[in-house]
Amino acid sequence: MATVQPLKSSIDRQPEQLMLIDGERVRAGSGNTINVFDPSTGRLIGTVPDGAQADIERAVAAASRAFRSPEWSGLSGQARARILWRTADLMEQNIEELANLEALNSGMIVPMAQDMVQFSAELFRYFAGWCTKIYGLTAEIGAAPSQFHAYTLREPVGVCGFILPWNVPIPAACLKLAPALAAGCTAVIKPAEETPLTALRLGELMHEAGVPAGVINIVTGFGHTAGAALAANENVAKIAFTGSTEVGKLIVQAAAGNLKKVTLELGGKSPVVVFADCDLERAIAGVAGGVFTHAGQLCIAGSRLLVERKSFDQVVSGLAGAAKSLKIGGAFDPQTQVGPLISEKQLQRVTGLIQSGADQGAEVVTGGKRCGTGGYFVEPTVLANPRTDARVLKEEIFGPVITALPFDDIEEVTQEANRTEYGLAAAVWTRDLNKAHTMARRIQSGIVWINCQLMADPSLPLGGYKQSGWGRECGPEGLDAYLQSKAVIAMVS
């Protein structure tokens, strides 16, 4: 597998990156560091501070001061909107560097990384528009002879803690930062220890855009130290987390101390329903893109394929052909269509789950093996007809792996689509509008795509049913997550 050298970025200029606290670049109080690797090659590319509880406390104190400071709390909605808009402009002006960092650190192929930076910029523009549209209400209450003037205020919740995933670092950060800043909150960000680089660079750009010192603080570190300390800190009013359901449950427990508000975007095991009446060629291409993009490391990846029996063999065969045709390679190779997994640990987990599927009755139609020796690559894999109790049907794999099962009627496929503890995303492929919208109502999922997959927009809510999370990001609901309501009642007479 040929190695393509990454383009120059800030990590080349300064391999030792520093945290951002109260507007200053700082090392961890312990002086310890964490190594950062390139998943495409496995090579060390730099270090970041190993932040811990003392660093989190320092960052939260800075965010608390900034939240109370007139320099931030005294800004008008128009002023906050201008800062968010300038942030979007700066992201676009630095799109090459940000995309290179995302690709280098996460293994995301460069074209996708560029799309992610562009989407992130649009998040700031969308929420910039909401800065001037945070309204309260007036109400007539009471009865004669007394009169009251009553109204509501919508106010920022306060200091927010953001704990980010390693798979899509920059959009995950911006999904939280944009609405939080639009609402007037301040933030402490804990990036994933594997992928901290774009968050650190984003913090620099946001300061350049006019965000005052202390409004955004970035503490790098491990989840069980820095992340746990942030979730438990009693001066944090809200936690927003994207990651596994297992860790999400730990965050809920940690947040119980001061009953902080919690938004969770967690795991997925998304069903993809293919009816025989659909455009099968288009569906096969869509299903392949929906699970093999970013090597399957997307919580919304369509990993459970359910195909009407009369078309099952054709769809599985077509999907296997699509999987075999995909070019596997490093993030900076312009020919690459499927990049690496994030780490050796994740590679071992994915290949172990593939093997368990084969052991539990699944036919490995294609793929299933590790590729090369210099990075963390796994072949795009199609598993047909696993046992209904197989781990590959129940657990989130987070790799380029899809299972396929046949169905005979809409009742059967509804039951199978919902036979999971998750409910983040789903897709339906059919030409029959009645089937499409019937399934959209029946599937227990926060997103249902019809004849498409992996589509998102800042104006539409993103979040899950069941154990795929609490709350929503994006759209008006995404802003509401960072606001709280206050009733004011004044006696007039």
Catalytic residues: 265, 299
From 28, 351, 359, select the one nearest 196 (Cα to Cα): 28
* Tokens representing residue 15 in the block: 């391999």
Nearest residue to 269 (alpha-carbon basis) of 459, 443, 452 = 443
End-to-end CA distance of the chain: 81
Residues in the chain, how many? 493
Residue in 194, 192, 193, 190 with CA at minimum distance from that of residue 177 = 190
DSSP states of 75-126: --HHHHHHHHHHHHHHHHHTHHHHHHHHHHHH---HHHHHHHHHHHHHHHHH
d(CA 396, CA 392): 8
70 CB-near residues (< 8 Å, 6+ apart): none
Neighbouring residues of 143: CB distance < 8 A, sequence distance ≥ 6: none
Cα atoms in the 13 Å half-sphere on the side-chain side of 204: 12
Q: What is the CA radius of gyration of the chain?
A: 24
Query: Distance of CA 18 to CAs 15, 31, 43, 196, Å?
Result: 10, 11, 20, 10
CA atoms of 161 and 190, how far apart (whole Å): 8
Is the CB of residue 370 less than 8 Å from the CB of residue 347? yes
Contact 48, 36 (CB under 8 A): yes
Task: Report yes or no: 184 and 156 within 8 Å, Cβ to Cβ.
Answer: yes
- Secondary structure letter of residue 152 according to DSSP: E
**Burial environment of residue 178 by CB neighbours within 10 A (0 to 12, 13 to 18, 19 or more):** buried
